[in-house]
Structure 1
Amino acid sequence: MLELKDFEAAADRLKNVIHNIPLSTSCTFSAMTGAEVYLKYENQQKTGSFKVRGAYNKIMKRFAEGDLHAVVASSAGNHAQGVAFAATAAGVKSTIVMPRSAPIAKVSATQGYGAEVVLAGNIYDEAYAKACEICEETGAEFIHPFDDEDVMAGQGTIALEILRDLPGVDMIFVPAGGGGLISGVAACAKQINPRIQIIGVQAEGAPAIANSFRTGERTPSDTVHTIADGIAVKTPGEKTFEYIKQYVDRVVTVSDDEIASAVLLLLERCKQVVETSGAAPLAAVLNNKVDVKGKKVVCVLSGGNIDVSFIHKIVEKGLITRCRQLKFSVLMPDAPGALEHFSHIVAQQNANIILFQHDRVQTDLEIGEAIIHVVCEVGGVDHAKRLIDTLTDDGYKVFTSQI
């Protein structure tokens, strides 16, 4: 079992390697929740995520033992970069197996750190199977992304830093996929101060740890489907789940819409690019998955390696979730001047039309009717309601599922 000295030894290996990123407080998120909200920006960490901690600790510990010559890893991206960085630093060959769905930015970054990248399978579990094949064929050592105590010890150094900066912390919210990060943080923090609550956060579309925590035994998910690719894992680790059962207080889930909204808020309010899995803890806090009022709360924002080509999709999803964009349809007469009148009402309400589709051929329309599908920029729920109410008062039949 991991002891406090294991985390301290890992911190010693990492002290001249990783970035020292103090906790940041957020007045905005504190006001929104009634808690003292602090953010641990691991998106600013070397290689762009916390994963470098565990990978570097494992590889350097094994390298010091004198018989490490090549390593293989499987990863959706962040562990890949951590292993590639650490292996190159140690002067050993690294081969990384990534799912075909891995963001291009993560593939390129992994290659940039000196690894050979092999794309196989559509999810992590399939990439893992391929990595095991390569290890059998080549004799290289497999560096597990989460189910390894040396890896967990490296990830758990985050807890040492949190308690250094905020000794009185009440709750730590941690993303959970395979369980390496949350098991390490929980084991470390609880051995220092057992009263600290550790809350795991999963995506609703990949709830294996949440389900396992509820049943008390490892319960794989049949499928995973979420925008949070970094925590899209079907099966929790055997070792990690034992630590989770012992040290974690609760595991909650958040929707993709809630995650996207958190990513957008971090961009707007904190000027921070945080990947979807990394934003899950903040999503849980902002959406009251746990009562945090009056508590000192830390959200571990685990990484920032988001594909630039994917950001606009997340931002758009976040805008719709927060009702900054309003999607609706309106039934109107198919007559001259009808569109002009509609547009005039929208303009009077200071809403901006950014998408417009005029449909005269929908099968359930009466003769002389048309339906228009609209996306407007609005200032939030209250603004959206005023626009809908004004259109309704003017006789329009409005259809929307947002408000």
Structure 2
Amino acid sequence: MNPADAPILISPNEIIAAHKSIDEIFLNTPVLNHPDIDAALGCTVTMKLETFNPIRSFKGRGTEAVIARLNGQPNGVTTMSTGNFGQGIARAARRRNMDSTIFVPEDANPLKVEAMRRLGADVRLVPLEEGDGMDHARRFAVETGAALIEDGGDRNIAAGAGGIALELSEAGIEPDVIVIQVGDGALAAGIGSWIRAHHPRTRIVGVAPEGAQAMAQSYARGHVVLGSRIDTIADGMGTLNPFEISVHQLRACLDDLVLLDDHSMVRAGKLLFNATGLLAEAAGAAGLATIAVHPHLFAGKSVVTIITGSNFSPEFKRLVLDD
């Protein structure tokens, strides 16, 4: 199918096929309920935990799905990432004996940079004045023949992420509301597409950071609005240059898209840690934070949120653990 002719939403068959192509270590992740969290937030919260895998992030799903489609050709792949997506690409490529070259903003979380290198990637830091690194990846792909992978711009990545919703369905979980973090949009596009097809009564709420509003503004206006800065502790949700297809997918999937400040994510991280002993990164705690900040959307309801990752920065760890 020509990408230009593809439907906006990801089909259930695409999600099922992607799910079958993913390393099982990323699949059938646990769900967790906790009475202290329910009491604090005024609703029944089911958390889908995407942190117990080799890269500690849901990104392993989409990266497995997209690289599996390459069938080992070409020999190399390239992309831009601030960390979690790059880790997924590096691991999926190494698993298939492929090279990976990842362009990373020079202010990226150093722990994530080191993790990408440890997983076999050639990591190239990009000065901030030269953008987020995607232009570098595109040039590298043209010069070397490496396959260019653009998170948010490839429906196979969204289909891989959609397996989270497939697993919720298989577990018999049909919430009143589901909260989905919005960065480049692939997570919300995949999960939202499955929910729209199988649980149309479930309300879908997206959350984006106040310090990186390009995607939220694009969603509101119905066309791409380029960002000028990323200033948020939730580096996994920072997007400067949204893809047009992602904007249309979000408008087809979401019922609401709300903004969230960094302090609220810190408070949610504290709640999660104090109740469960789990330490998520800022983006991972964003769903819980959304419920706390916008209680009128969730009061008394059954709610699902995704703990998307636990590759926390030293700063976020300090803020969460600081009494």
In structure 1, what is the Cα distance between the partners aligned to 2:107 and 2:34?
Answer: 34
- What's 1:45 paired with? 53
Q: Give the aligned partner of residue 76 of structure 1.
A: 82
What is the match of residue 286 of structure 2?
280
- In the alignment, does 2:26 pair up with 1:26? no
Alignment check: 8 A CA contact 1:125 1:233 kept: no
Distance 1:290 1:117, change over 3 A: farther
CA deviations 1:183-224 (Å, max 9, x no partner) are 111012111121111111111111222222222222223222
Whole-Å separation in 2 of the counterparts to 1:152 and 1:125: 24
Alignment correspondent of 1:3 = 11
Alpha-carbon distance in structure 1 between the residues aligned to 2:43 and 2:25 = 33
Instruction: Work out whether 1:208 is the aligned partner of 2:208.
Output: no
Superposition TM-score, scaled by structure 2 size: 0.92
Which consecutive unaligned segments of at least 5 residues does structure 1 have? 320-403
Report the CA distance shift for 1:71/1:252 in structure 2 as closer, same or farther (over 3 A).
Answer: same
Task: Indicate the residue corresponding to 2:204 in structure 1.
Answer: 198
1:137 aligns with 143
Match of 2:267 among 247, 261, 264: 261
Q: Tell me which residue corresponds to 1:57.
A: 65
> Equivalent pairs: percent with the same residue?
30
**Aligned match for 1:230, one of 223, 229, 236:** 236
Distance change in 2, residues 1:15/1:95 (3 Å):
closer
What is the aligned length?
315
Higher relative contact order (CA 8 A, sep 6+): 2
Matched letter for residue 221 of structure 1:
G
**Local SS of the residue matching 1:44:** coil
Residue identity opposite 2:65 in structure 1: N
Provide the C-alpha distance between the structure 1 equivalents of 2:130 and 2:54, rounded to a whole number of angstroms: 23
Aligned AA (1:6)? E
Secondary structure at the counterpart of residue 294 of structure 2: coil
Match runs of 1:75-154 below 5 Å: 75-122=81-128, 125-154=131-160
Distance 1:286 1:309, change over 3 A: closer
Measured in 2, the distance between the counterparts of 1:275 and 1:80 equals 16
Deviation at 1:173, TM superposition (A): 0.6
* Pairs within 5 Å for 1:248-397: 248-288=254-294, 290-308=296-314, 310-316=316-322
Conserved in 2, the CA contact under 8 Å of 1:101 and 1:123?
Answer: no
Note the aligned Cα RMSD (angstroms).
1.8
The alpha carbon displacement at 1:19 in A equals 4.3
Unaligned runs of at least 5 residues, structure 2: 1-6
